[in-house]
Chains A and B, each alone.
Chain A
Amino acid sequence: MSQGRVPAALLALAGLGLLFFLLPLAGLIVRAPWDQAIGAIESPETGTALGLSLFCSLAATAVALVLGIPLAFVLSKTTGHLRSVMRALTTLPMVLPPVVGGVALLLAFGRKGLVGSILYQAFGIQIPFTPAAAVMAETFVAMPFLVIAVEGGLRSLDPRYEEAARALGARGWMVFARVTLPLLRPAIFSGAVLCWARALGEFGATITFAGNFPGRTQTVPVAVYVALETRPESAIVLSLILLAVSLAVLVGMRDRWLGAL
């Protein structure tokens, strides 16, 4: 980038913007009790939370892949009003405050919820306060990232590949599995990584729908919140771990995911 072409005012504002992101990071790094970091990482609470977070976020990503790719596929084939409605529905969790999402999940899948009451009465299944609830909360909030990335990939796909496959006699499912999916690999990959990173950081919907219990529903973000007052050094170390993971993911992805959006 040549500096000469960017007006000074823009450069100054951009610098401020960057600083706004950088300073909180710097705060965490400067204030981190590095001497206690190893101890905090090795403490059983931290390990449990990390393990649970890893499991839940990966499970959420898996669910998002199974449901999200078909959803993106259908979305890309839909036009008109129906498409606007479906798109709004799939992106809703991105703008909904996660806590509201959590309450909505309770009202749908709780013991007294629309679907949850049937599950409870017929099979005795209770979803809230279980790891499954944490996975569902994370899926709810993170799946839109995958859907949008994959749909973007589908829209930029050259339709001639699919047409050619059909002309050669391939049926719908065959075209999807053998032609469309392989071509979508970059979009799916970037969407999945984004979705996973979002799921890993999920807090509001999880605490509301799944509650907080170490080893069962206490994921890293919830553990950070709990530890903030009683064990601030653990909170900062846990935050730094989340931060490092997210940063590694985003730097590793660089422009790829932006391209997909």
Chain B
Amino acid sequence: MTRKLVLAFAILFLAGCGGQTGAASATSAPPQTGISVFAASSLKPAFDKIGARLQVTKNVVTIFNYSGSQTLTAQIEQGAPADVFASADTAHMTTVESAGLLSGSSKIFAHNKLEIAVAKGNPKGIHTLADLSRAGLVVVLADPSVPAGKYAQQALNMAHVTVHPASLELQVTGVLSKVSLGEADAGIVYVSDILTSGQVDGVPIPDDQNVIADYPIAVLKSTSNGPGAQAFIDLVLSSDGQTILRAAGFQGV
């Protein structure tokens, strides 16, 4: 009884740490096992649900470390103990793979598109990417080192639009929160971010100016719970996982 309580607290504690430090390690004690998943911030709404599902079906407790893929890549390269890595682009997955840190190969499990996030009701009347270059508009983008920022730059290039961002946020959720707090008039984020946030409106970007983001996932060599890590990835790729991802605004595979 006491042991279980202690374990429960330890898991709670680790879960609390996971969000920020990324140093959360997997706990494992029978009958429950644990894994830690390093995932791009945009995946949070979907992955939280998938993690909860995995606990019910496989009794695997998942601790998430959500951050910009570039931060996660740096953490993994520096030896952070993670079991699964889910990136918002293939470039960062390739970086981790060429450093020899993957166990096996990565799989694309979802796609995402970009959308312009604006305040509810679109008070500034923003309808196209070109509108973002309007003077006096506070536009916030993700930093080009963040996948969402790189994609946004590509989309703006395709639309031949130059914007002067007020800030280059270090993760896509930073862009979203600046818009939902009303500090920025517009930002470029993922379709999934807008759908799950509920606090902003989305202005679609036409396909010929849009970028399809590929999300790869892989088991890391440093895993201490290979079966748990594989179970997580299997669930993500299963029809259950894909349904959750679609409900969160992603495109399935």
A interface residue numbers (CB < 8 A to B): 106-107, 110-112, 126, 128-129, 207, 210-213, 217, 225-226, 228-230, 232
Contact = CB atoms under 8 A, between A and B. Distances in A.
B36 interface: no
B159 to A, nearest CB: 22
A250 B178 CA distance: 36
Given A126-B138, A229-B70, A229-B73, A110 B182 contact: yes
B182 A212 contact: no
15 contacts: A110-B183, A111-B183, A112-B183, A126-B138, A129-B166, A207-B170, A211-B167, A211-B178, A212-B143, A226-B145, A228-B70, A228-B71, A229-B73, A229-B74, A232-B74
Identify which of B70, B73, B138, B166 gathers the most chain A CB atoms within 10 Å of its CB.
B166
Nearest to B77: A229
A211 B169 CA distance: 6
Given A129-B166, A207-B170, A229 B183 contact: no
B181 A212 contact: no
Interface residues of B, number: 19
B183 A226 contact: no
Interface string B144-180: 0100000000000000000001111110001000100
Given A126-B138, A228-B74, A213 B167 contact: yes
B140 interface: yes
A229 B143 CA distance: 12
A129 B138 contact: yes
A129 B170 CA distance: 14
Contacts of A107: 181
A248 B181 CA distance: 40
Contacts of A217: 167
B141 to A, nearest CB: 10
A226 B140 CA distance: 16
Contacts of B181: 106-107, 110, 112
Contact of A212 (B138, B169, B183): B169
A226 B168 CA distance: 10
Contacts of A211: 140, 166-169, 174, 178
Contacts of B167: 129, 210-213, 217
Contacts of B140: 129, 211
Given A110-B183, A111-B182, A112-B183, A226 B170 contact: yes
Contacts of B74: 228-229, 232
A122 B141 CA distance: 28
A207 to B, nearest CB: 7
B179 to A, nearest CB: 11
